Structure 1
């Protein structure tokens, strides 16, 4: 793989992770819905295909209301079977929030200089922030390659990291902090009431499986 191809790959991966991060951050607003709908042709055969088929020509405001209701019942506890988007819930023996996974992932964010937005008032092991970190590391890898094939990036502590070390950090984070996501996606699929969130769960699983193979192959 050439340097240019690797840079393009990192850009594509960052975009993919940022899309998923947005999908799980809050209920879709009109701007996000339009962005999703505009990609219907490019994703006609993917996990969101049933959603596109069901919503072709649908009223956008009613669609927003329906998706918000599904988001709320899935992730904000407004149902009998909420799905917690937190690593701790899936990795701690007690299935509780704010456990060791939260402390460990917060340290990782600090190491790489990822700042949790002040308005984000949820536990730091939320799936959105973990996907944001993957996107940030992909961006940093691309920037390092763009500056110089052998250039280096610095962590928050001032440690120098090469592009290969940044890629290794992404492999490690995927294995150590995102291994819970497939089980989470399965729960979303069980309880989603819209084709959108059912499809997002499938898309998330698909991206992580593909990304694991991609990172191993580099």
Structure 2
């Protein structure tokens, strides 16, 4: 019986040590990723805006910032972490900050106004649009929400949802996913380390319990 306990203890100890090695390597790679993301964020120097009291603002108002938060939280279903929105560290380098910045670009794109010029009279679906300038107010439409064949909506879509807007939203989305993945990586390190440490201690305990009495 003692021999079996000893063998089981050695096996558990070996698995525990292996887990600690895996956890250490995972931590090393995760830290590399976090350092890389931090360097990328620092190079871009994209920062959020705060007022003198440390409240998040957009174009000088806290109301604007709240509308962006509402878009991200309620329309997109993303749980912003208020602790990540820190006036002492305005650099965009966390998942919540990336998502907020993405929301900023999207919000102003969704509520922007452009002027569309119709060069000559056009008839579309029984309605005539005389030549001239038309002010088009985006009422919250995304890229796919426009009628591309419409003489005003079609050109307005191109003017509102520019390549720059798409590129910035895509880039910030990658940053948010990367930051979230790295956070999950740290959590995984904790789980692996906890299990490995437990196996190691249990293995040592079984080996000690199975030792021959003096």
If you compute each CA radius of gyration, which structure gives the higher value, 1 or 2?
A: 2
Which TM-score applies when normalising by structure 2? 0.29
